[in-house]
């Protein structure tokens, strides 16, 4: 039993030794990458800055696009559909149509403007008071103000307009559907442009990290040759450069997030004035926290990938 226990402990130590060695090698590579980056602070700062600015651009455009989309959605919700009844339609018929429209699931609310209310609004406008006094009757019709549900897209709003126009007693339906269609098309183009720009700038950041790692490898060609002569594996040699790429990406992602937050802070004053001009109806905000937290992680992965691609080629040429 004692001998069996000793053998089991020996097997456990033997199994634990490779893992401890693996941890030790990764710890050495991690510290070596930090020392190498700290040995040339100016080059490291320039690489991180270029990568940070490259990643901050698509974040900035995403911030502006998100607020523009929210701005357009808010304005689209305030764009009511005006349904003008035919002259001579009585109050009861207008009320019945308002009830039918209000019962639809794609309608948020329905208001009604009577001819008397319309005449009062015209009389309050400058220049119309004297002209309206000469009229011996009220020529204005009943008007239904229909607010579509906020979740409706352009196609369903167009269907709602057609349905309203076909109702008995309806003379004219006025809607700014063309404005909504153009805004949605503009947002689609902008969204596609932001994705393409993000892909291009991510590629540029990858190339920047790859070039920095390539120069570092070329400057340490003799050191790498000595390591390979004493039996160092290829993974052991390239590990510090992979960590360096990861540090480049992580730092560049943090710089990009910081620049985006500074931009949000710089725009805080003008945004407050814009919100106040719309009576507080607009609620413009920055990028979500989860998205900002995801940027450094993705940038670190991007830096590691750039270093990995360069190491695969450059180390073969160096040895």
Which residues 6+ apart lie within 8 Å of 136 measured at CB? none
pTM across the whole model: 0.65
Please state, in angstroms and rounded to a whole number, the distance separating the CA atoms of residues 319 and 308. 16
What CA–CA distance (Å, rounded) separates 297 from 31? 20
The pLDDT assigned to 128 comes to: 59
Domains and CATH numbers, the chain: 29-74+182-318 (no CATH), 80-175 (3.30.70.3040)
pLDDT per residue as tens, the chain (319 positions) = 444 444 444 434 444 567 677 677 777 777 878 888 888 888 889 989 999 998 999 888 888 887 777 776 666 555 678 899 988 888 888 899 999 999 998 888 898 888 888 777 766 665 555 555 666 667 788 899 888 886 677 778 888 888 998 999 898 888 766 666 677 788 888 888 888 988 998 898 888 888 888 888 888 777 777 777 787 777 778 888 889 989 999 999 999 999 988 888 887 777 777 666 665 555 666 788 888 889 999 999 999 998 888 887 777 765 5
Rounded to whole angstroms, the Cα distance separating 260 from 52 reads: 10
Residues 259 and 313 sit within 8 Å (Cβ to Cβ)? no
pLDDT at 257: 92
| N-term to C-term CA, the chain | 52
Q: Which two tokens stand for residue 83?
A: 């349904």
Kindly report each contact of residues 100-107 with a partner whose C-beta sits within 8 Å and lies 24 or more positions away, as own/partner. Answer: 100/167, 101/144, 101/146, 101/164, 101/167, 104/160, 105/149, 106/148, 106/149, 106/152, 106/156, 106/160, 107/146, 107/147, 107/148, 107/149, 107/160
What ranges in the chain are assigned the alpha helix state H? 2-39, 41-78, 91-102, 115-124, 129-133, 154-165, 177-219, 221-229, 234-266, 268-277, 289-318
Residue owning tokens 């190339």: 207
């Amino acid at each position: 039993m004692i001998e069996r226990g000793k053998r089991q402990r020996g097997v456990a130590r033997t199994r634990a030794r490779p893992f401890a060695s693996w941890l030790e090698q990764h710890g050495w590579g991690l510290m070596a990458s930090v020392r190498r980056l700290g040995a040339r602070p100016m080059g490291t700062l320039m690489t991180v800055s270029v990568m940070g600015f490259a990643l901050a651009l698509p974040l900035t455009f995403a911030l502006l696009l998100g607020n523009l989309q929210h701005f357009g959605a808010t304005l689209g919700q305030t764009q009511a559909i005006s349904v003008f009844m035919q002259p001579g339609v009585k109050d009861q018929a207008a009320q019945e149509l308002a009830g039918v429209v209000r019962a639809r699931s794609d309608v948020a609310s329905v208001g009604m403007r009577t001819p008397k209310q319309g005449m009062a609004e015209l009389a309050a406008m400058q220049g119309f008071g004297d002209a309206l006094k000469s009229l011996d009757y009220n020529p204005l019709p009943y008007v239904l103000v229909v607010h579509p549900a906020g979740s409706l897209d352009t196609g369903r709003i167009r269907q709602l307009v057609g349905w309203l126009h076909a109702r008995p007693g309806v003379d004219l339906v006025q809607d700014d559907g063309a404005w909504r269609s153009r805004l949605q098309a503009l947002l689609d183009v902008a969204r596609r442009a932001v994705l393409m720009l993000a892909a291009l700038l991510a590629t540029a950041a990858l190339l920047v990290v790859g070039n920095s790692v390539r120069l570092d490898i070329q400057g340490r060609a003799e050191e790498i040759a000595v390591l390979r002569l004493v039996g160092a594996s290829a993974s052991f040699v390239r590990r510090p450069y992979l960590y360096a790429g990861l540090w480049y990406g992580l730092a560049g992602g943090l710089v990009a997030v910081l620049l985006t937050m500074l931009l949000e802070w710089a725009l805080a004053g003008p945004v407050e004035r814009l919100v106040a001009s719309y009576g507080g109806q607009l609620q413009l905000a920055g990028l979500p926290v989860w998205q900002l937290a995801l940027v450094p992680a993705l940038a670190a992965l991007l830096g590691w990938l750039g270093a990995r691609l360069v190491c695969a080629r450059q180390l073969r040429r160096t040895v």
